[in-house]
Structure formats: structure tokens, C-alpha cells
Chains A and B, each alone.
Chain A
């Protein structure tokens, strides 16, 4: 059984985000970049499925400039077998375009399971997995906190508002990962060396027959407003009083 994992290179979670002075975008110059944490959970889940003997091959795919090759190599160090880099240059891509590109890879590779992060921590769109499932006409299980695959069926526990929902789905399917699905491992340093030798294939939007019509335009980026200093209240009554009368949230 093949698993395809889509991964995205984003600003590292530990970096303080800065907005460009002209407000055109977030400033990424010299910033530390890493694999999106939800994508990392997706790779980890794929590796666990392989270690459990459920999956036989893990393919990772990432879209972007040359730098995403490093992110693909990180996934290989975690245990992915081969990679596909879709060279889209520096173009800003909307979730729909990403899903269209990924759909072509799904068509070519015919994986039984497609794993994605539920969202990327840069723009937090939370759309790509859902759009991909629609384009491929696959069943989808988003926000997964537990994935079990047996007898050509997937059982996925999803995190939903107010609790958990369990779905049973036919393969092939799309799963997007939530935070509690697993805790990604620290890569063993010698495995990083092995990643160097794993195959990495390059594609382009043209070679996949997808045109990059961007349906989303970014107009302006603003940093969140500074948090104002809090106030100290002597007791619970004063707290309730100020929540009611000053903050007006009760």
C-alpha cells in the first residue's frame, strides 16, 4: 500500500513573525523555515503505518521554490522513501491551485491514502485537503486524531467541536491531521545521511498540465495589535463585575 504525504515549508514555529514595512507580506528574509508542524505529524503517521506493516511505500510531495527540497529531505530523514518536488518558483499559490497540482500527483501515483496537515501555520487556510478530496472524488476525514487501517478500510477518529467523531471510510481516501494524532520523532542523525541518497523527482506545473491562475490576491498584511496591559482584581466578585461592566463579555 502506497501513502502520499503532502508537506509545506513554512516559517519556523519558534520565529517571531514580522511584517514587511510596505505591508505587502510577511518578511521571510533570512528567517528560519521548517516543515509545517501538521505536515510533520502527517509524515510521522505515514512512517508509523509503514513500521506497522500497513504501508509499503511513502512518497512525499512539496510545492514551491528550490528550498522545499530541504523540507522533502527532512521527511526522507523521518522515513519517507522518495520525494516529488513541484517546482513552482516563487509564485504565490492559492489552496485550489495546490490541490489541483496534488490531484495530478494522486492520479499518477494512485496512493491508497493521502495524508496532509489540516492547515499550514503560515496562512491557516485549512482548505487544501478538502479541495483535494473533492477534485479526486475521494472520501475525506479531516482533523484526524486516530487513524486505523485494516481490511481495505480506514477508521478515523476526528476532533470536532464538542468532542470526537468516528468515521469508517473506503480506500483510497484523504486524511488531514490534527495536533493530537501523534508526536513526531526526533530524526536519528545517521538517518539524515541516508536521506541524501533517496530518489527525488522534479515536476513543474507545466509538466503536470496545471496553469497557475491565482484566484486569491493578498492586499495587505497587518501585524496583530499590541496587547494592552491587564489589570489586577482583588477577588472573584471583582473579576465578574469587571467582565460584565468593563469588558462587557458576560
Chain B
């Protein structure tokens, strides 16, 4: 064993060579230097009653172990429209996954399990999608064509998603610039994954078929912050219609990233926009690292085309080491990577090295659960010294080489070896095209090979749907106020910026606006009441509040000639007891109507007593003491400033 070699040092050294800058220290110049470019695909579920292509209800979710029936399918690659199998298709086929669907009768009919052709497209969903497309200032198509987009991971039992373009182009304004859109499509949602272990992947069919729109931007965001800003904007815009679903999983983002010399890599299914900046930052550096690895390999190994791994099957009884591989009846294989010294422990992401790229692929392609490999540059390889020695002898290990040792059932060994060799060969070319899964810590895992455009083909089960001019005109007349107008409004009203997201995300601007106009309340008061006070109370008490009721509360106050200040006290009770009527709230608060002159008459009594008894030197303290005595009686009856002024007047006398 090469005891001189220090993998930890190599990781650190290569991290520096790549020039990894922590996210907190990165500036716009950092990303310009990398040639950072990013685009977004925002998926947003629509609020319809029924699914897109059948009449099953939407938004009813099952517990994963609560199902009425299960069925088993396998996905085979098919010949695409232009005649060739595509890359993803073959890779997925190689994995030989058994796909199991768990269905509930309430949320799945024969359509979900691909035992009947689609019913006509849900018109309600079509109109919502068109509305959002119009808000994006897109070109609406003349005729909607349902297209099949292949997904061989089994997430859709047909093996394809039915999807259709509603509009193309369009743009959104960010703070510094405009971002263009490529398209908006209307599509059916996929199954929820229950588990994926070995050769068996389980899905629940409840979410399958729910209507979803996908908004796709050009890759024009040049910093991670711009990506997040665009994501927020598109989400707010969709929500401003009031016709999209909210809650966990209702909106998901796919983010694609590339750097100079890199490849477009897609990070799929990011659940929180707040994760996007760090994920894209780290992905940019992963690509940079793979480019550094590419250069190094091409310097070291002159004939990449003829580069091959050398393998040797090991006898478990010869190993005499406790191995970490899960499962039984495993075969053990040692794989020599000639000339790969220093590559396996090369930095790719914080806490992850090149070997982890191989490990990810072994999991997905060869179905080998992690930990699925040991290698010559593991920090703790000394713990497997006996194994290392055996491998190095068996494989004729040289000082420029690296090795990987993996184990699996006999049927998966060939795919395992192929996967390792293929990933190493790809390193000579740079960055493999793939989709990746984003984790909360900002790093990503290999998910699948990125499919090309050729996996789209027409849906022979559905006829095209013409889009009449009259429908566009009708929808245009009903559009909600546009987002830029809302942002300008908030700024003009001097609403604090920390309120904006809450108001827009929950589409509360229409209600706020109505209250402000109808009751002539100060805009800032209404907006902070919603986005600070109510939001805080709701979170604190883990309750919910139906904002549609806020209007009636204002209306109640106006009718009873009660000042707006009392509203917070009332709301704090209403949020606790959502069904209570407003008069009872007043009773609970022990609130009584009182005229200003009556209240003012009480001031001299308190000022005199405070000045006499307490001998307070400071007027300021005396004033607040009296205010405290009168505050509750004044609330809702008299303007506080007025009471305070009266007290001040008397105290100073």
C-alpha cells in the first residue's frame, strides 16, 4: 500500500487548484469568472377539481403504506419518433428495475395505471395555464398538441408524460434586467416515490395526473441570486391568479447550470427556492472541478480512447477483512484504474470527491446500494489494509494507478464494471450530461443521464385542441394585476420589504387593496397587519387564518365606529377561536365604547396621583404610567396620540 499518499491532503490541494470560493465570500465577479449561466423550470400545480386526463380528484394524498392494490411494471426503451433508442432509455433499461405502483381506489382509476386511454383534457386546467401564459406575455399557440415525453424511471406508468405547449417566449423583469422565457407547458404530474432500493422502486399514484404547468426560462441568470429572484417572481406570478395549488410539493423547481467549457446540468425537483443559490454555486464548482480533472487526465494519459479498466474477481475467503457492503451472496470485484492516481480523491464538491461520482452511478445504474465501493484514495483506507494489499498484488498496482473495489449480486457485476469504466472514460471528455438531485446542504447527487429533445413524440391517443381567439380575449379581460404593478404599489405605499414575499406568495394583495380602498385605511398599516402581525400570530399559535374574513372584520369595526387600533387585540382572539363572532370578541376583551371627552376627564385624577405619590422626577415616566392606566379604555375609542398629548399637557403643567 502506498503509505506516502495522503488523500485528505490531495482533496484539499485540488480544492484550492479548482479555486473553490465559499458561497458567503462569492461576489458577482466570482460568477463572471466561472462563466456561470443558469435557467429555470418552475413546476406549479394548478387548483382544479379533477386531474388533467381523467376524472379522479386532485390533492388527495395517501399514506405510503395505505393502498388498495399494487401492480408491477417494467419500463422498456422504445424507438423514438426519429428512429433511434436514446441514451437515457438504454441506461434505464440496463438497471432492470421492477416498478411497483401503490394505488388507492379513491385517487386512481384505470387511466393512472395505463389501462385506458386519456379522457379529454381538463378545460379548467387549460384556461388557468393560458391565463398564466398571458401574464408572462407569451405567444399563445393556435392549437394545443398533446405530446409524450418519455420517462423511463417509472414515475409515470405509461412511461411518458402527456404534456402540451400553451405559449412560447415571453419575459419577466428582475431588479436589474429582463429574463426571457422559452415556453409554458401544461402537463400531468408524476407519481410520488415511496422507496428505491436495489432493483425495486415503489411509487404512490395519488399525485399522478394532477395538472401542472412548467415555465421554462432561457439560461440567462448569471448569479445564484438572480436564479432565486427569478424563481420567486415566477412563483408569485402564478399565485397571483389565485388558481394554483399551494403547500408542500405544489411548486417544484428544476435548475440548470453551466459554466464556461461546461455542460448544461439539471438539478431536479428542488423543493425550496431558498436552496437554489447554494446548489447552483456548488454545481458551478463541480463542473469547474471536472474540467480540471479532464485536463489532468489528458496530460497524464495520452490515448484516452484505448483506456480500459482491468478487473479481477476476488474470493471473499481471501479477503479476511470485514467489508461494509450491504446484502448477501455478494461477489467482490477489484477494478484497476490505470493512471488515475490523485483523481478519486480529487475535489468535486464540498465534502465530496470524484469517487463519489462513481458511487452515485453504481447506485442508480447498477442498483448497488451504498456504501457500494472502497477505493485506493479513501481517507480511512488503512482500516482495510489487508484488502488493499491483496488488491494491489492481484492487480499489479502501479504508483500512477488507483483502484476501486465493489461488491454486488452476480447479475449486477457486469453492469457495475461497465458503469465504473464508463464514468472514468467520461472524465476525459469533461462533464457527463446528466440530471442531479439537490440536497439541503447544497451538494448534488447523480440522478439520471440527461435526456435529449428526441424523446418527445406525438400522443396518438389525443386530438389537437384549437385555441379560439375569443377564449384568449375573455381570459385577457380577467387577468389579475400584473406583478410589476404590485411591486411598484408596495414600494409607493412604503410597505417594509420583509412583508412583500408573504403578501405576494399568498396572493393577499387583492384583499389588502380592497380594504385599503373601501375603508380608507393606511396601506402600510394593513400590509404590516397581515404580513407581520397575523403571520406572526398564526405561526406562533400553529393556527391558520382565512384572510377572506379580514374584510368583514374591518367592515364590523367601521359599522361600530371603532378605531382600527383595536383590530390586533380582536385578531389575537379570532386566530385562537376561528368560529367566534365579532361581538363576542368585544365582550371577551371587556371592551366598552367610550367618548373622548369622558376619557379625557379621567386624566387629571391619574396625573395628580402620580405626581403626588410617586414624586417622579421625570415627566416622561409619569406620562407612560398614566398612559398605561388609560390605554385599554382608549383603544379603539380615541386616537392614542391624542390621549398622550392631553396627558403630556397636564403633566407639564
A and B interact: no
Binding site for A on B (CB under 8 A): none
Binding site for B on A (CB under 8 A): none
